[in-house]
Amino acid sequence: MEPDDERRRTRQSQGRREEGDRAPRADKADGEAEVLASIASMSGSDRAIGERLHAIIRTDAPALSPRLWYGMPAYAKDGKVVCFFQSAQKFKTRYATFGFQHDANLDDGHMWPVAFAVTELTAAEEARISALVKKAVS
């Protein structure tokens, strides 16, 4: 390949990346629909946990916008993911995971948990998640 041809292909490729990489984000309603569809596609306890987590987060942290993040239900503030739900089935693990990203305001000393294994949601777990989500967006 000639050097000029190679440069032209590189410029074209960069132009496509710049145009294609900046696809507009889904609006809040689209994000909600995508998250609900993702949860509905889950089976068994993953779906039940996902539905309860979604309800808790939407009630206790209305500032968070639902969206998909790496195909998982997630909730963002100012475009940055604060928390997410990872189903056990998708990753072939024995438990689902509810986790927080670095933008969550959970700092507590020099060390704090940022992910939780979830096998079932009882009233006690729901209360704990509610408190964590409220603190995360504070």
Each residue of 97-120: pLDDT tens digit? 999 999 999 998 999 999 999 999
Domains of the chain by range and CATH?
A: 31-137 (3.90.1150.200)
Run of H or E residues at 54: helix 44-60
Averaged over 3-29, what is the pLDDT?
52
Confidence grade of residue 23 (pLDDT, cut at 50, 70, 90): very low
Q: Measured between alpha carbons, how far is 126 from 42 in angstroms, rounded to an integer?
A: 20
pTM: 0.78
How many Å apart are CA 129 and CA 30, to the nearest integer? 25
Distance CA 13, CA 96 (A): 39
- Which pLDDT belongs to residue 96? 97
DSSP state of 116: E
Q: Please, are residues 76 and 65 in contact by the beta-carbon 8 Å criterion?
A: yes
Q: Apex CA 39: angle with CA 67 and CA 70, to 5°? A: 45
Q: Would you say residue 4 has pLDDT above 50?
A: yes
Helix (H, G, I), strand (E, B) or coil at 97: strand
54-87: per-residue pLDDT in tens?
999 999 999 999 999 999 999 999 999 999 999 9
Computed on alpha carbons and rounded to an integer, the radius of gyration of the chain in Å comes to 19
- Report the 10 Å Cβ neighbour count for 52: 17
Residue 91 has pLDDT above 60, yes or no: yes
Provide the mean pLDDT of the chain.
87
In the chain, the percentage of residues whose pLDDT exceeds 70 is 79
